[in-house]
Structure 1
Amino acid sequence: MKRPQDFFTIYKQSAWDKDTESMIGLYDDNIVIFDMWNQGYQTGLKEWSVVIKDWLGSLGDEKLNVIFEMIEIHESNDVGFGSALITYQAISISNAIVRSMKNRVTLGFIKQKDEWKVVHQHTSAPINSELKAILNF
């Protein structure tokens, strides 16, 4: 990535194309992930790469449309911070939305050798009074 805001375009296109290598390329070797699913916490690109490959590979014939809203980026010379709302839409081969959910994402970026990488990613969703995630807010 030449700029932190490139993350959002590359991530969206990588998801749509199911291009695991492009998506993996967004992350630093020492990535720390706070995710909402399964383990909830992972470190290292090797471990996170497996999750990305499993996730995009599980889509079968479906496509994945990713929509970012309320993107905020703050950066200095070699450190950046971003946040957004992110909607995931599973699209069937007949072009219908079969599943959809919205999360919040917070990203920490570092710049090394004129390239930005995500070093920290945290996804979350608000919860209701029964402590259940609200995935469509």
Structure 2
Amino acid sequence: MEIEEFFTIYQTSAWRKDTTAMINLYDEQAVIFDMWDQGYQSNSLEWSKVIKDWLGSLGEEKVKVDFDMVNIHQSGNVGFASALIQFQAISSDGAVLRSMKNRITLGFSKFENGWKVTHQHTSAPISSNGLTAILDI
């Protein structure tokens, strides 16, 4: 996989609820800083459970994922990407039920079979009125 392909594979995997394809984007030792529940996963086994729980909980809904402002930098066996990621829950009749936009930063390492995510961090801005989210790491 090339780094550019991550974004298309992630979109397609979410839409098709293809947990295997999504999990295969990540290295076994990937560190994930997520915005939900635990907020931190230190390997692909933990991250796999999060992905399976997320996509498995959708029922009839589908998830449409869009990326904006994608920036990719790579040199040798190390790569970096950042983007805005929007998630939309789509009903069986095509209506948008809810949506959310986050920031995503990805670190990649190049292996024999291509690039894999070794670090992922999602975040969202907070207002200046003092509201903060606390991660229990």
TM class, shorter-length: over 0.9
Structure 2 match to 1:97: 96
Q: What is the TM-score when the length of structure 1 is the normalising length?
A: 0.93
Q: Residue 31 of structure 2: SS of its match in structure 1? A: strand
Structure 2 match to 1:65: 64
Aligned residue runs from structure 1 range 1-137, under 5 A: 1=1, 3-130=2-129, 131=131
Q: What is the TM-score when the length of structure 2 is the normalising length?
A: 0.93
Which sections of structure 2, spanning at least 5 residues, go unmatched? none
Matched residues in 1 for 2:29 and 2:132: separation?
31
Cα RMSD (Å): 1.0
Matched residues in 1 for 2:14 and 2:132: separation?
26
Q: Residue 120 of structure 2: SS of its match in structure 1? A: strand
- Deviation sequence 1:23-69 (CA, Å, 0-9, x none): 00000000100111111111110110000000000111001000000
Q: Percent identity?
A: 64
Matched residues in 2 for 1:132 and 1:40: separation?
14
Which sections of structure 1, spanning at least 5 residues, go unmatched? none
Kindly report structure 1 stretches of 4+ aligned residues shifted beyond 4 Å: none
